Amino acid sequence: MSRKFSILAFLITLGLTLYFSSPHHSLIASVNASGEPVPQASTPESLSNTAPLFDNLGNYHHPISTQSSLAGRYFDQGLILAYGFNHAEAGRSFKQAAKLDPNCAMCYWGIAFVLGPNINAPMTDEVNQEAWDALNRAIALSQQATAKEQAYIQALAKRYSHQPLQDRSMLDLAYANAMREVAQQYPDDPDAATLFAEALMDTMPWNYWQENGSPKPETVEILTTLESVLEKHPNHAGANHLYIHAVEKERPQQASSAADRLQNLVPASGHLVHMPSHIYIRVGRYHDAVVANQKAIEADQNYLKHPLLNSIYTAAYMPHNHHFLWFAALMNGQSEIALNAARQTAMVEPKLMRDPNYAGALQHFSVIPLYTLIRFSKWSEILATPAPDQDLKYPTGVWHYAKGMSLAATGNLSEAKQELQQLEALANDPSLKNLKIWGFNFAGEILKLATNVLAGEIAANEGNYDQAIAYLKTAVNIEDNLIYTEPPDWYSPTHYLLGMIELKANRLSEAEQAFRTDLKIYPENGWSLYGLIQSLQAQGKVQAAKTLQKRFEEAWKYADFSLS
C-alpha cells in the first residue's frame, strides 16, 4: 500500500485560498512604538491592534531580552501557538509583544518566523514583504540582543529574500543549515534544536521515508535531534508534535509516549490536543483517538469565543479534527459519534464543491455521512436520503452505491442490480478520470472500488460465492494500490469485507487470513477481531478464539453497534 499523509496539506491549501481572498490585516503593519497596556480583545473592530492572552496554553518559557514582562508572556504564547501550527494567531501575539516593547528584536523575529513555510503549507508571495520588513527590524534591533538571539536572527535571515522566489528550496535549505549551527552552538536550548528539526522537515515535507520504509538520511538527523530534545525535555510541545509527524508514516509505535505526553501539555491548542490521534489510529488505540479529537474540538470551540483573525487555522485545521473523529469512531464502533462527526465534516460550501481546485475533496466530504450509514447498516436511512445534484457525479455514484448496498442487504436484488448499473456507468464517466480526492486518488477509482464491493455483495446474496470473492479481491487490489491518506479515502477496509464473504462461503482459512491481514493494517480493530473469532470458532480453534474474545471485548467496549 502506498502511503502519503496529505489531507491536512490539502485543507491548508484551501485555507490559504480562503484567507487571501478576504480582507486581512498585515501582521507587521500595526506594530508601532507605543508601550501602552494591552487593550481588551472584546470586539472584532479591535483585531488589528490587539491580541488576547489565552488560558491553558501551558507554562513554557523561552527567555528573551525585553523590558516588558508582558511582552515576554506574549512572546511565549506566540512560540507555543507556532508549535501548534496556529501561525496567524502566533503572529498576532508576536506583534503584541513588539507593540509592548518596540526594542525587542526577538519579537520581530517571531513575526517574521511564522510567515515562512511549514510542513503543511508553502510560503506565499503575499506575505513576503511583511516577513522581509519584520526580519530587517529584528536585525536592526539585534545589537541590543544576546549572542544567542543574534544567532536566531541571523539564521532566519537565510530564509528570506527581498523579492519572492518561484523556487524557495535553496533558501529553506540555507535556513536549516544555519539553524543546525545554532543548535550545535547552544546544545542546552531545546528550542534551537526543535526549530532546526522543523526547518529540516520543511525542506522535505511529508517525504521523510524511503519506499522500503527506511528513513532518509535527513530523517535520521531529524529523529536524532528531536529524540535528544525529548530525552532532556520530555514535555517540550514542539518536539513532541514534530516527532509524531516524523514517525507516523512508518514507525508510529515509536511515538506512543510522545502522543501520551502531548495530549495534556497544551489544553487550549486544538491542533496539539488532536495530534496524538495521528499515532493512536495507527497503533489501534481508536478510543483514545476519539477522545483526543473530542477534546480538540472543544478546545477550538473555546478558541472561537475570542475575536478571531481570518486564518488558515479556522478554515483548515478545525475541520480536520471532525474528519479524524469520524474515522476513529467508525473504527471504534461508535455509530452516533461517527454520524455526528460525518455530518459536521460534510458541511461544505456548495459552490466550492464545483470549483475544479477543490471539487474532488469537498465532494468526498459531502458523502462521508452516506459511507457511515453503510458501515453501520442504516439501510432505511440510506433509502430515505435524497439524491445529490446530478452534476455532482462522484456523490451521485456514492449515492447509487449506498442504495445498492441497502437493497442487497434487504433482499431486493433486482433493484440493487439497477443501482449497480448506474454506479458502474458513473465509475467509467470520463469526467471523473481527472477528479482527484485531496489531489491524489481519483474519484473514479473510488467508484470502481465501490462497484466491485456492491457487485460482490449482490453475488454473495445470490449464493454465487466464487464470483463474489473475485469481485472483492478486485476491490482489495484497488484499495491496496490507493495512495493512503489519513483518514483513508475508502471508508470500510476491503480485507475485512472479503473476509466476511469468505466466512459466509465457509472458506474459513481464507477468511481467517483476510481478517489477519486487515488487523496488520488497522491493529486491534473490533470489526476484524470479531470476524477472526468467527472464522476460528468455525474451524474448531476454540482456544485461539477464546483468547481473542478478550481483545475483542476490550476493542468494542465503547461501541453502540452490535456485530453479527
- 532 neighbors 516 (Cβ within 8 angstroms): yes
Give the span between the Cα atoms of 120 and 499, in whole angstroms.
37
Element (H, E) at 441: strand 441-442
Taking a C-beta distance cutoff of 8 angstroms, is the pair 156, 192 a contact?
A: no
pLDDT at 11 over 50: yes
- DSSP for 98-113, written as a single string: HHH-TT-HHHHHHHHH
Instruction: Look up cell 485555507; give the residue.
Output: 15
Determine the Cα–Cα distance for residues 170 and 511; give it in Å rounded to an integer.
52
Q: What pLDDT is stored for residue 7 in this prediction? A: 62
Name the burial class of residue 278, with classes exposed (0-12), middle (13-18) and buried (19+) by CB atoms within 10 angstroms of its CB. Answer: buried
* pLDDT score at 16: 56
Alpha carbon of residue 207 to chain centroid: 15
Average the pLDDT over 521-531 and give the result. Answer: 98
> Nearest 5°: phi and psi at 436?
-110, 145
Lowest average pLDDT, out of 119-123, 325-329, 496-500, goes to: 119-123
Q: Identify the CA nearest to 108 among candidates 85, 83, 131, 89.
A: 131
Q: What is the pLDDT of residue 49?
A: 58
pLDDT tops 50 at residue 27: no
CA–CA separation, 248 and 282 (whole Å): 8
Task: Look over the chain and give the mean of its residue pLDDT values, rounded to a whole number.
Answer: 92
Please indicate, yes or no, if residue 535 is contained in any of the structural domains: yes
**Average pLDDT rounded to a whole number, residues 8-30:** 50
φ and ψ at residue 526, rounded to 5 degrees: -65, -30
Does residue 366 lie in a domain region? Answer: no
Q: Is the dihedral of CA 491, 446, 395, 423 positive or negative?
A: negative
pTM comes to: 0.91
CATH number at residue 521: 1.25.40.10
For the cut 80, the answer to whether the pLDDT of residue 431 exceeds it is yes
What's the pLDDT score for residue 34? 31
Confidence check: pLDDT of 26 > 70: no
Whole-angstrom Cα distance, residue 135 to residue 118? Answer: 17
Lowest mean pLDDT among 31-40, 245-254, 339-348: 31-40
Identify whether the C-beta of residue 433 lies closer than 8 Å to the C-beta of residue 444.
yes
Which residues, in sequence order, are bridge partners of residue 209? 215
What backbone torsions phi and psi does residue 186 show, to the nearest 5 degrees?
A: -125, 70
Say yes or no to pLDDT of 9 above 80: no
Q: Which domain holds residue 556?
A: 493-564
- The C-alpha angle with vertex 560 and arms to 388 and 384, in degrees rounded to 5, equals 25
- Residue 552 within any structural domain of the chain: yes
Domain count, the chain: 1
Q: Is residue 550 part of a domain?
A: yes
- Asked which of 312-316, 354-358, 525-529 is least confident by mean pLDDT, the reply is 312-316
pLDDT of residue 24: 37
More confident of the two residues 225 and 34? 225
Assess if residue 194 is contained within a domain: no
Residue 351's Cβ-count burial label (10 Å; 0-12, 13-18, 19+) is exposed
Read off φ and ψ for residue 85, nearest 5 degrees: 60, 20
Summarised one tens digit per residue, pLDDT across range 124-133 is: 999 999 999 9
User: String of b and e for 86-105 (b: at least 16 CB within 10 Å)?
Assistant: bbbbbbbbbbbbbbbbbbbb
**CA dist 11 → 124, 149, 253 (Å):** 15, 34, 26
Residue 531 burial by Cβ neighbours in a 10 Å radius (0-12, 13-18, 19+): buried
pLDDT bucket at 81, cuts 50 / 70 / 90: very high
Q: What is the DSSP string of 203-272?
A: TSTT--B-TTSPBPHHHHHHHHHHHHHHHH-TT-HHHHHHHHHHHTTT-GGGGHHHHHHHTTT-TT-HHH
* Whether 456 contacts 497, CB under 8 Å: yes
State yes or no: pLDDT of 82 exceeds 50. yes
Is 533 a domain residue? yes
- In percent, the amount of the chain with pLDDT more than 70 equals 91
Check residue 31 and give its pLDDT: 38
Structure confidence at residue 312 as a pLDDT band (50, 70, 90): confident
State mean pLDDT over 163-167. Answer: 95
Task: Flag whether 502 is in a domain.
Answer: yes
For residue 215, the cross-strand partners are 209
Examine residue 548 and state whether it is found in any structural domain, yes or no.
Answer: yes
Using an 8 Å Cβ cutoff, are 449 and 480 in contact? no
